[in-house]
Chain A
Amino acid sequence: MRRIRKPYTVISICLLLFFAATSCKKTLQTSPPGTSAVETFEELWTFMDRHYALFDVKQIEWKMIYDKYRSTVTNAMTEAALFEVCADMLEELKDGHVTLISPFKTFTYENFYRLFPTNFNYPNISANYLGSSSKVSGPFIYTIKQGIGYLYCKSFRDDYTNEDLEKVFNELQSTTGLILDIRSNTGGKAGNVNRLVQKFLDKKTLVKYELVKSGPGHNQFLLPNAYYLEPTAIPYSNPVIVLTNRTCFSACNDFASYMNYLPQVTILGDQTGGGGSIPNNYILANGWTLQYSSTITLSADKIPIDAGITPDIYLNISPIDETNGIDPLIEKAFLLLK
């Protein structure tokens, strides 16, 4: 009997210790954080404090913004009211890449283009400049008039094939100049930007520097990482005029920045909308999704491009021109290229 009892006693003790250790939830800290209004506000503010990359570029005192909004948050407030406070706090950043998504409402900062003239009317362009001779290849719409090419790139969001791009440039190679219209292009994928820029390069070119956060401090970054693009086999080397407006944002802003440093390129129109950073996502404990700027992008001469790219020639569309179906930016570009 003694020989049988002892093993079972040992096994029982082992099991007891085992289950005691594995059930110690407080030590393990894998339970979800709180989702009260105050906890949600604190989580949002703290995460941004540690991860948002543009406080110093935008010269924002984030702690002061905390003091301003924290006093308005109580656990008695509704979820909708809390969302409004959080949205107001995030709006202080004036950053189109900052978005807060809840099941009932989405906040995105839009004043980077809403406060300015649109400077773009596609129906007018379609009717009066593209006409029936225009062609479509992937996201590109293009035409050739009087030996000058017009290429409209509506978005960098949708992928395009090399064949799409080659088809466009095989035809545009014969032109003496090119109007490249990226107005109201709200961005997309860096790869789509790069492949289009490569069509204009005749040598390996430094296009930007990227600064990635190395720690939670507002100015804790790794050394700037230089990005180069290689040329394609047959570059387009004739003069190019790039048309921009305030809705040219994010990847489109990058495109304008890269093209700005090419000697054959002139930027014409309004300042671009900015968004010179790589956005990233975070899921809050209450299920809301936060999008934030996680890097700083510098131009080839190390200037932050988050505020947008200044055109070489400022030009707006007046309401009268728009009513008459005229696009002064395209008209001006034709004049400059002739």
Chain B
Amino acid sequence: MRLLFFFLCIMAANNLFCQPPGGSNTQFHVRPYLLFDKTIDKHFSSVPATGFIPGLQLAASQERNNLLLEVSMRYGKGTLSFSEKKQLRISKSLLTATASILYKLNRREETGSDLHAGLMIDFVRADKEYSDLINFNTSFETIASTSLVGDYMIKIGSNRPVSFRNRAFIAILSMYRQPVFGSSVASDSWSVGSIGEVNKWGDRFSVCKAITERLNLGLGYTWEYYRLNSERETISSMHSLSIEILFKL
């Protein structure tokens, strides 16, 4: 409920402060997804643990003049296992929140394509529990990043009902927090890392078709990767397929 409240607050703020004079061009996105996760937490093993994490992403976006503003929140929980030890289960939950502001680079409307570039602030919290191991059997990473984002969208067809969209990001500056090297207890401090210490990037591709004037449906594929090159090295590579449900206000 707290997460939902937080999400609604962000959306409300977005609508209050970013409402264009001539009316809004606001869209709400609902994305149920299935994510395939491949994680290495070198405190527990150098062997990747893999599994599926189902979840839901909610997002709101608004175009205003040459700006595209978007906030999103995603939560999923699933079970991973090692290929060598199938019986050893890892419960993993993944929470992400993003806020991005992108500037429209192309000015020609008649091409049916839009190219945006800008910044994204995102927050990732991954919790892992190795329930079959003893004692310090939980771990987590919290990563807050500022990323460069590029977004390209093209609409095709006679009335342009079908849209393809590709958005890529790469983190340029991050703060992260993990447990203390030898335990499950959270470290007292946050660490700051730029590219190299925190490698984090992703790409999202989606195709949508307008069903009605206010409803678009489609499919999306997202690939994300992050690696904390800390003393407690953690790597996660995620592929997710989502159903895109887009409401236009």
Contact = CB atoms under 8 A, between A and B. Distances in A.
A287 B85 contact: yes
Contact of A29 (B130, B203, B235): B235
A282 B225 CA distance: 24
Interface string B162-204: 0010101000000000001111010000000000000000010
A53 B46 contact: no
B109 interface: no
B85 A294 contact: no
A295 B182 CA distance: 8
B205 A15 contact: yes
A30 B180 contact: no
B135 interface: yes
A33 B83 CA distance: 13
Nearest to B49: A283
Interface string A277-290: 01111111111010
A101 B45 CA distance: 14
B6 interface: no
A192 to B, nearest CB: 14
A32 B183 CA distance: 24
A220 B183 CA distance: 13
B136 A278 contact: yes
Name the residue in A4, A7, A53 with the highest tally of chain B Cβ atoms < 10 Å from its Cβ.
A7
B231 interface: yes
A215 interface: yes
Given A14-B152, A30-B235, A283 B84 contact: yes
B154 interface: yes
A28 B46 contact: no
A83 to B, nearest CB: 15
Contact of B237 (A28, A51, A283): A28
B209 interface: no
Contact of B183 (A22, A30, A283, A294): A294
Nearest to B239: A22
A51 B85 CA distance: 22
A126 interface: no
A7 B235 contact: no
30 contacts: A7-B156, A14-B205, A18-B168, A18-B223, A28-B235, A30-B235, A51-B182, A213-B181, A214-B180, A215-B181, A278-B135, A279-B135, A280-B134, A280-B135, A280-B136, A280-B182, A281-B44, A281-B130, A283-B84, A283-B85, A283-B88, A284-B47, A285-B46, A287-B47, A291-B134, A294-B135, A294-B136, A294-B183, A295-B182, A295-B183
Interface of B: 38, 40, 43-48, 82-85, 88, 111-113, 130, 133-137, 152, 154, 156, 164, 166, 168, 180-183, 185, 203, 205, 223, 225, 227, 231, 235, 237, 239
Given A212-B180, A212-B183, 5 more contacts: A32-B83, A216-B181, A280-B135, A283-B47, A285-B46
Interface of A: 4, 6-7, 10-11, 14-15, 18, 21-22, 28-33, 43, 51, 53, 212-216, 220, 222, 278-287, 289, 291, 294-295
